[in-house]
Amino acid sequence: MGNVLVTGASGFVGRALINKLQFDAGFNSRAVVRVSDSTFADGIDQVAVGDISSQTNWSAALADIDFVVHAAARVHVLDEIAEDPLTQYRQVNVEGSLNLARQAAAAKVKRLVFISSIKVNGESTQPGRPFKSDDQPNPEDAYGVSKWEAEIGLKQLSADTGMEIVIIRPPLVYGSGVKANFHRMMRWVDRGIPLPLGGIDNRRSLIALENLLDLIVTCIEHPSAANQTLLASDGEDLSTTELLQHIGEALGRPARLFPVPVGLLSFTAELLGKQAITERLLGSLQVDITRTCELLRWQPPISPGEGLRNTARNFKR
């Protein structure tokens, strides 16, 4: 056990991780926030560092820290409006991450766990060919490129300084407090909106928040995690149709689905300029976590059904 610094502690994953480390896992945790946040539980130490960049001063945050979990990032958005998104992603996700890592190594931090993204591997998979941790990276958008470049820089820094690096690439994370597209899907089902997604035969890997937190905590000290790149998921893939059905069951409101040919859905989405979200609803993205499980002797502690029920309880509140 030891002292763990968590960046991005005001976010969906970071806030839940801080609470798990402090109250369940036996670590002393410190939350890094952009500005002071009064909503943390009593007993949570926090340090405000402002915007994360190549110039951020991490000295106060890193004092007496043994491990860092770097969850802060400029996150991926479907409707990007920045004129040069890659430059903006690089400023936070690459330059900001490497600046933190250099200062962490100088402060004698033992290990940095970097929360990357499965988008480093790519955007979709072919049937029967899930992503694996040793696949050649193939990021297709600015966010994925920035995460891949950060991984490269962190590995080099580890080789130069001896500070251990662990890279975790999760797919879409769902759980209590989830926002964005997953929250939107739950709202569709909860309102009883008929959806033309009743015949989608794809496969998507997701990860429940509880499973991701358990993996992160495992990676903080596990000796076999040192300097590894680990893929994450629930270990059970669902089609979009199955996911919506499970969401309906969790909400107690059966999803109102009807089948429409995939080709027609794709054509309509193209006309409406909604290709990006439709590709995620219709396409496959599978993740093979066999190596993660074998290397760490780890299994996702909860099933997708349980994870969705937990998510639904929070949604209804």
> What residues are annotated to the active site?
143
The H or E element spanning position 187 is helix 180-190
Stated length of the chain: 317
Kindly calculate the radius of gyration of the chain based on its CA atoms and give it in whole angstroms. Answer: 20
> Could you tell me the two tokens for 310?
């937990």
Torsion angle, CA of 29/55/121/83, rounded to 10 degrees?
130
Q: How many whole angstroms separate alpha carbon 317 and alpha carbon 312?
A: 9
Q: How many whole angstroms separate alpha carbon 203 and alpha carbon 207?
A: 13
Residue with tokens 């680990």: 230
Q: What are all long-range contacts of 155-161, with beta carbons under 8 Å and residues at least 24 apart? A: 155/227, 157/98, 157/101, 157/102, 157/105, 158/227, 161/102, 161/105
The H or E element spanning position 67 is strand 67-70
Q: How many whole angstroms separate alpha carbon 306 and alpha carbon 285?
A: 21
Of 211, 99, 107, whose CA–CA distance to 157 is shortest? 99
> Could you tell me the two tokens for 216?
């992160």
Q: Are 299 and 293 in contact (CB under 8 A)?
A: yes
Q: How many whole angstroms separate alpha carbon 76 and alpha carbon 79?
A: 9
Of 175, 212, 177, 208, whose CA–CA distance to 39 is shortest? 177
Q: How many whole angstroms separate alpha carbon 155 and alpha carbon 164?
A: 9
Amino acid at 39: T
